[in-house]
Amino acid sequence: MDLNTIERNDPDSASQSAAAASAPAKKVFVKTYGCQMNVYDSQRMTDALAADGYTATDVIADADLVLLNTCHIREKAAEKVYSELGRIRDMKAERAAVGREMLIGVAGCVAQAEGAEIIRRSPAVDLVIGPQTYHRLPDVLARVRGGEKIVETEYAIEDKFEHLPQPKRAEMIKRGVTAFLTVQEGCDKFCTFCVVPYTRGSEVSRPVAQIVAEAERLADAGVREVTLLGQNVNAWHGKGEDGMEWGLGRLLFRLAEIPGLARLRYTTSHPRDMDHELIAAHRDLPALMPYLHLPVQSGSDRILKAMNRRHTAKDYLALLERIRAARGDIALSGDFIVGFPGETEADFEATMDLVRQVNYASAFSFKYSPRPGTPGADMPDHVPEAVKDERLQRLQALLLKQQQDFGLSLVGSTIDTLIEKPGRQAGQKVGRSPWLQPVIVDEKAGEIGDIIRVRITKTGYNSLFAELA
């Protein structure tokens, strides 16, 4: 039994408190799948567990609690989780044989989608907790130690962010000079290929005061660059410090006032929520980096309609014209789905044509995979896998060429680089360009957290090499 739990439930017991204070800290191992928001959620789960006596470990064999923070976007996501659970189950049995406890938990979007089915298929799992309820982890673990199997996937009425313990400053410093900050969760768009509205719920925006307070704590811990996260982040609308409703553009201006925060980013966006104020922020706010991830998914209006994207290729291109007019050096990133049901060769060529017109600095492209419970899964005319494979290869070749061309276009230019971490090779440090590329510099060029002026000398496969300007 967890002595920390006893202390929390029976605060009048001095002997139990003393025992808890002397007990060795338990260790938690968190494996994160999927998007940046899951990375953020994993950190916050670790923070919540720290208040319950757990310390994080990178060695799964040392863990008293193993949490899989799962993603449900890609095909066979659930099966990959069950396969991983099989390996952890064997580890748990080995621990039990020598009298050591190992609890197993599944969190995130697969947990939300599968619920009790996870424990039915993997009885070694002790708890299943959805992405909106992880602030309840300490209480859930207390119930697990009481002998229960817990499935906690009901959406919380209360705001989970208000109930999470704040990480200690020393722990935040360890996380580095860049950080994610969730400002919005859920999505109301209901694209026919996507499970997010079903696993993350409807759109919810955090209030400005919460966001600013967290950003100030990050800056105090040495963070220089913050990326605002949301499933549909540019739909964020929160109560401002003046009592009025703010949009994302105004929020970015407020965050730029925080001492120490030098760079701001946000992801992921929807074209329909790119308003005038946000475009103006790209024009007028130096701290907002000239890089925008704006998924389009397809260049075919017919397929966009089937996807329920509610914009056309022409709408998207016109929006990009406005954005580029506001910020001439902005680089574009996007998402593409190849082989959506009913996609013809002409539809795919429309996507290729759009890519050529936009000229992306980077992009993510995937074969369509049906997600159970989404309208797309039940549509007719699914594209054969061989056709999806061939189209994806053509698209990725074009996108890779554009990415490489963008890197080459920077050779000889002088840019600001945030030094982020030591390099893989001795004598190097790795920085981050305004457009998110890794920048390799000499280790003497500056200290981690410095923003230095460098000249790009050459490109690597996914990185830039630079010298002090």
* pLDDT tens digits for range 116-175: 999 999 999 999 998 888 888 889 999 999 899 999 888 765 666 777 667 777 677 778
What phi and psi, each to the nearest 5 degrees, are found at residue 305? -65, -40
Looking at residue 193, the DSSP 8-state letter turns out to be T
Res 113: pLDDT: 85
Q: Strand 438-442 and strand 464-468: pairing?
A: parallel
Per the document, the length of the chain is 469
Mean pLDDT for back-to-back runs of 10 residues, the chain (469 residues) = 30 36 75 87 88 90 94 77 92 91 92 90 94 86 92 74 71 85 93 90 91 95 96 94 95 98 97 97 98 98 98 98 97 98 98 98 95 92 98 98 97 98 95 97 96 97 94
Gyration radius from the chain CA atoms: 24
Locate 210 and state its tokens.
């919460």
Strand partners, 184: 205
Res 202: pLDDT: 87
pLDDT per residue over 247-283, tens digit each?
999 999 999 999 999 999 999 999 999 999 999 999 9
Residues 6+ apart with CB under 8 A from 98: none
Question: How buried is residue 267: exposed, middle or buried, by Cβ count under 10 Å (0-12/13-18/19+)?
Answer: buried
How far apart, in whole angstroms, are the C-alpha atoms of residue 270 and residue 282?
16
Residues 6+ apart with CB under 8 A from 392: 338, 339, 365, 366, 367
Q: Which helix (H) or strand (E) holds 293?
A: strand 291-293
**CB-CB contact of 214 with 206 (8 Å):** no
Omega into 268 within 30° of 0, i.e. cis?
yes
- Cα 239 to Cα 12, 244, 460: the distances in Å are 40, 6, 44
- Cα 90 to Cα 47, 60, 87, 104, 125: the distances in Å are 28, 12, 5, 11, 12
Comparing CA positions, the residue from 21, 71, 65, 20 lying closest to residue 46 is 65
**CB-CB contact of 95 with 102 (8 Å):** yes
Half-sphere exposure of 186 (CA within 13 A, CB side): 14
Say which residue the tokens 């001492």 belong to.
Answer: 259
Residues 6+ apart with CB under 8 A from 122: 82, 85, 86, 89, 104
Res 304: pLDDT: 98
Res 445: pLDDT: 96
Res 156: pLDDT: 67
Strand partners, 128: 106, 151
Evaluated on CA atoms 300, 404, 226, 131, the torsion sign reads positive
Looking at residue 56, the DSSP 8-state letter turns out to be E
Comparing CA positions, the residue from 62, 66, 133 lying closest to residue 103 is 66
**CB-CB contact of 314 with 274 (8 Å):** no
How far apart, in whole angstroms, are the C-alpha atoms of residue 48 and residue 16?
22
**CB-CB contact of 290 with 330 (8 Å):** yes
How far apart, in whole angstroms, are the C-alpha atoms of residue 60 and residue 295?
36
* First-to-final CA distance of the chain: 59
Locate 107 and state its tokens.
């969190």
Res 75: pLDDT: 65
Res 164: pLDDT: 67
Q: Strand 225-229 and strand 414-422: pairing?
A: unpaired
Looking at residue 161, the DSSP 8-state letter turns out to be G
Say which residue the tokens 């950190």 belong to.
Answer: 43
Res 72: pLDDT: 80
How far apart, in whole angstroms, are the C-alpha atoms of residue 296 and residue 54?
42
How far apart, in whole angstroms, are the C-alpha atoms of residue 439 and residue 431?
5
How far apart, in whole angstroms, are the C-alpha atoms of residue 234 and residue 180?
15
